[in-house]
Amino acid sequence: MDERSARRLRLQSKMKEAGIDVCVITQNVDLYYFIGSMQTGYLFIPAEGEPVYFVRRSFVRAREEADVAVEELGSMRGFGSRLAEAFPRQFRKRDGEKTVVAAEYDVLPVQLFQRLEGALPGARWVDGSMLIREIRMIKSAAEIIAIRESARVIDMAYEAALSALKEGMPEVGLMAVVESVIRHNGHMGLMRVRGYNQEIITGMIGAGAAAATPTYFDGPAGGEGLGPASPQSSGWRPIGTGEPILIDIGCCIGGYVIDQTRTAVIGELPDDLRQAYELSETVLRETEARLMPGTICEELYTAALEQVRAAGLSDHFMGFGADQVKFLGHGIGLEIDELPVLARGFRYALEPGMVIAIEPKFTFPGRGVVGIENTYAITETGFEKLTVSREGIAVVPRYGSRVVQQ
């Protein structure tokens, strides 16, 4: 059985357990995950039987890409009747019974939901987003291979950035080096985020006080960005000596994302910031020691909080003040904010196939952000570190010579 067919069967099994008759999928990434196409339309997956993909545009391309039956969507007026014909077992209920239809409530726009609701007036709608996200949480060998390739390319970009880094260059100039390398090596040009109004460019490269500028993005470092229309990541600020340079970057090849962070400095980092960076590596090593099947995600986060508290740096961990974020890491794959999350309330036990980015960082307003981030695949016996870039603080001498890792 091919991989996408197996994914659909897992979803159908979960639907039966939850008493769901039909799941309708509309979001691009979920469509791609289940059928290999993301043309505009509605994918209907019954709890039993074969799915049908009703496509508005492009029907021609959907037929070439999707591995399920594809039909033109046509008018929504008669859509309910067409569904009853396509799925008689699910939509032709006895009097008093309602068809239970699940949808991706976390990403489905209200207007689109109301259109579907109007086409199926006799249905009872439920939230199916967690069913989908939990299936996607466990990666296949092929998915992990794709993430490894993104990791290989982002390492090339990181090394190119270190070679280009010099005093006085703008943050956005360093980001341009990264973007050029990854684009020439297969980066799609975007990285997808599921969260509403959450956007990401190629990551966050910021130096000194600019990196510690808070913003709307749900992460420990914001960045000045290029203005209110793009209030995150790199700006025009020149990079100076003796200030932390946060290089938090990603790459997306074949749809799959890697996420990694490294810290650099031109010259020397102040002692207290260096110590904070060393604590971030200590937190990461202690977390790695517990990365094995059965470990509860929430417990990894609370253990990190205790380490940071003991070191007296709780106020700076994962942001500062009201802008602190309440997690240590997050799942990653086709989107940058997948399950599981290493945070309070997430009682998932680690399982083989989970892929998690772990990012202990410390924010110092007016001074900068230091930290490290690696991406890991959970295995039967522990973990595989997918990130391959060298660790430690990358020290760039002010006057020539080579980069030193400390």
User: How many structural domains comprise the chain?
Assistant: 2
Q: Which CATH number does the domain housing residue 48 bear?
A: 3.40.350.10
Are 117 and 187 part of one and the same domain? Answer: no
pTM of the model: 0.95
Helices (H), ranges, 141-269: 141-164, 171-183, 208-211
Cα 376–chain centre separation: 13
Are 384 and 288 part of one and the same domain? Answer: yes
pLDDT of residue 246: 98
Are 40 and 172 part of one and the same domain? Answer: no
pLDDT of residue 402: 66
Cα 396–chain centre separation: 30
Pairing of strands 394-396, 256-266: parallel
Are 66 and 198 part of one and the same domain? Answer: no
Q: Which residues of the chain have pLDDT under 50?
A: none
pLDDT of residue 401: 56
Last residue of a domain, one of 136, 166, 183: 136
Are 315 and 340 part of one and the same domain? Answer: yes
What percentage of the chain reaches a pLDDT higher than 70?
A: 99
Ranges assigned E (strand) in 171-295 = 203-207, 245-253, 256-266
Domain range for 166 is 138-405
Q: Which CATH number does the domain housing residue 147 bear?
A: 3.90.230.10
The structure tokens listed for 270 are 């102040």
Last residue of a domain, one of 136, 158, 181: 136
SS3 of residue 310 by DSSP: helix
Give the span between the Cα atoms of 347 and 343, in whole angstroms.
Answer: 9
Are 309 and 274 part of one and the same domain? Answer: yes
Are 182 and 109 part of one and the same domain? Answer: no
Are 161 and 200 part of one and the same domain? Answer: yes
Are 343 and 215 part of one and the same domain? Answer: yes
Are 298 and 210 part of one and the same domain? Answer: yes
Are 372 and 239 part of one and the same domain? Answer: yes
**pLDDT, tens digit, for every residue of 257-286?**
999 999 999 999 999 999 999 999 999 999
Last residue of a domain, one of 113, 136, 159: 136
pLDDT of residue 226: 95
**pLDDT, tens digit, for every residue of 69-128?**
999 999 988 899 899 899 998 987 777 789 999 999 999 999 999 999 999 998 999 999
Are 311 and 297 part of one and the same domain? Answer: yes
User: Within 10 A of 123 (CB to CB), how many other CB atoms are there?
Assistant: 21
Cα 406–chain centre separation: 29
Indicate the DSSP class of residue 146: H
User: Within 10 A of 335 (CB to CB), how many other CB atoms are there?
Assistant: 25
